[in-house]
């Protein structure tokens, strides 16, 4: 599994019939230090994630183990919205901190 930040949506009006009703997200991968990488991925949204939220991404057959995922051509799926990430006694991310830092037009306070 991989941690990623939701940075957009992907809309497709014509798709494989089994994908009807599936919401797609554009996510940017996060490294072990909590920093955004230059890598992006399209994932199926199984949890109703929104912009700037951090999600847990499952890939391959694990992405299809969710209800209704069997038989769908899904290679990656957001399977959880992350509340906090900590490593080595340091908080790398907190959803509640991010919510407090959001300003109008998605501007952020300087670190």
Q: Cα(47)–Cα(29) distance, rounded to whole angstroms?
A: 17
Q: Look at residue 103 in the predicted model and tell me its pLDDT.
A: 43
The residue among 43, 41, 85, 50 whose CA lies nearest residue 66 is: 43
Handedness of CA 87, 46, 39, 110 (dihedral sign): negative
- Tens of pLDDT along the chain (111 residues) come to 999 999 999 999 899 998 888 999 999 999 988 999 999 999 999 899 999 999 999 998 777 666 665 678 888 999 999 999 988 888 889 998 765 444 444 444 443
Q: Look at residue 102 in the predicted model and tell me its pLDDT.
A: 47
């Amino acid at each position: 599994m991989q941690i990623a930040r939701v940075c957009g949506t992907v809309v497709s009006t014509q798709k494989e019939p089994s994908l009807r009703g599936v919401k797609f997200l554009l996510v940017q991968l996060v490294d072990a230090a909590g920093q955004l990488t230059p890598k992006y991925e399209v994932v199926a949204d199984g949890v109703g994630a929104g912009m700037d939220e951090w999600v847990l991404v499952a890939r391959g057959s694990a992405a299809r183990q969710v209800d209704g995922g069997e038989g769908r051509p899904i290679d990656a799926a957001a399977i959880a919205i992350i509340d906090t990430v900590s490593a080595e006694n340091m908080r790398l991310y907190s959803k509640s901190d991010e919510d407090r830092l959001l300003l109008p037009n998605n501007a952020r306070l300087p670190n």
